[in-house]
Amino acid sequence: MGRGWGNVDPMSGSPVRTSGQCGGCNPSVILFPGCGSIRNCLFGSSMLEGRIDSVYQGLPMRRQILLSIAIRFLIYFTHWLVLAYLPLLLKGYGLSDLQIGMAIGFFSLSSMALMLPLGLFSDIFSPRRTMLCGALLYGGYFGALLTARSFGWILAAVCVGGLGSAALVVVSESLYLKHFGQIQRSRRVATYQLSTYLGFGLGPLAGGLVVQTAPELIFVFAVAGAGAIFLLSLFLIDYEPIVFSFKEYSGDVLQFKPLLLIACLFVLGTHFGVEQTSFSLLLKEKFGLLPRQIGLVFACMGLWMALAVPLVGKYHDKRRSVFLFFLGGMAFSAVFQMLTPLAVGIRSLVVIRLLHNLGDTVALLELGVLVALLFPSGRLGGNSGLLYGVRTLATFLAAVISGSLNREWGYGASFMGSGLFVLCFVAGSFAFIGFSATRRQAVGWQEIEK
């Protein structure tokens, strides 16, 4: 079978990325973007990169990268357009803090339930078609929120939204990494995450302006965003399906570094649940901010992360230990998560959150690099689904716990607790790795003795 994007899907007429094999290599390994065994069989990593770059000559690589980035931006723009104000809207509908926490948590739970199956499905079927289905569910979720007012109907709507979110978030990232995640890895991951942060910043900014005028109109704009995601996904180049093998997927995960990554990701995910449930309420209840002002705070954070991530990606290229930066970013983030409820005014709060977001930027960049580094390209959908499922489970649990803490001790307690939890985990991880030469070598903190 030939390499490149020359083949065509007989069902849709869309070009499909194909794999290749190298004699002496595992035939299940996708030739592009490449693997260590293929590098050994060919001419070394630098010559391989030249061969890979030559495959792209005359092909729409730049257009596909821009298309992937635009879709990622729209996913997070529409997500945060609604989510930043959903707790406030639900509060206005008469829901309790516990019910709000459960609603946000059930969005995460429904996402988690299908992240792994949808990731696997995209590997063995079609990533592009999986994204198209996800966009339809996403639009249905926002449309349902236009009319849902009771707690039961809102739970049903967020469950549908969670399914659509799972398909879009997991599969869009895995498809991008399959095509572009092995050459100039950290820079391309950083570029991709830049679109995420722009969506995170500009979504709440736009949402604040809309909510101030007509709150329900926010769902109309979100439906339009989901429609745009669907239309743009029609032009994505698909990736050739693989044959499912439970043994190969389990072999990818049941190793020291992937298991450490999963543990780190679970702990990191807990603080996202706290933020999604409590941050907008903290801004409104403690600092008295209006929706438009809340949007400006989110915009500052998102644009700050978008500005920081290319610089972090460039700096990362000069360093070897990805796990060291990952854990360091988590620790830095956790310190300022704990300081958040201690802010005495909006200016000090913004400074604290920007420093917190800087730690998040480092941790999330290293997470993306580790995913591309540790897992084979052909099985990135299933493995990414597992990782997102773990992260989303943590987000769900933290959101529910945060709702209970908010009711008993106020909105600052959950920030303090989540920061302390992450900080303790990072300290334990450094000790666990540092006391073993084998583990230090495995994560690149010590040279392997020859």
The predicted pLDDT at position 426 comes to: 94
- Mean pLDDT calculated for residue range 161-167: 88
CATH architecture of 61-442: Up-down Bundle (1.20)
Domain residue limits, the chain: 4-55, 61-442
Average pLDDT over residues 82-106: 84
Mean per-residue pLDDT, 258-268: 92
* Tokens (6 digits) for 89: 């809207």
For residue range 317-346, what is the model confidence (pLDDT) as tens digits? Answer: 545 678 888 999 999 999 999 999 898 888
Residue 305 CA to residue 196 CA, distance in Å, equals: 9
User: What is the average pLDDT score of the chain?
Assistant: 79
Percent of the chain with pLDDT over 70: 83
CB of 14 within 8 A of CB of 238?
yes
Averaged pLDDT, 285-304:
84
* Between residues 406 and 227, the one the model is more confident about: 227
Mean pLDDT score, 238-262: 83
Instruction: Give the pLDDT confidence score for residue 448 in this predicted structure.
Output: 62
For 93-129, the DSSP string reads TT--HHHHHHHHHHHHHHHHHHHHHHHHHHHHS-HHH
pLDDT of residue 238: 82
**Residue pLDDT, tens place only, 270-284:** 988 888 778 888 888
Q: State the Cα–Cα distance between residues 353 and 153, nearest whole angstrom.
A: 34
Residue 133's contacts (CB-CB under 8 Å, 6 or more residues apart) are 167
Helical residues (DSSP H) of 147-184, grouped into ranges: 151-180
How many CA atoms does the CB half-sphere of 112 hold within 13 Å?
A: 17
Tell me the pLDDT tens digit for each residue of 368-421: 888 878 888 778 778 888 888 888 888 888 888 887 887 788 888 889 999 999
Residue type, 359: G
Of 57-71, 105-119, 285-299, 325-339, which has the strongest mean pLDDT?
Answer: 325-339
Q: Across residues 14-26, what is the average pLDDT? A: 40
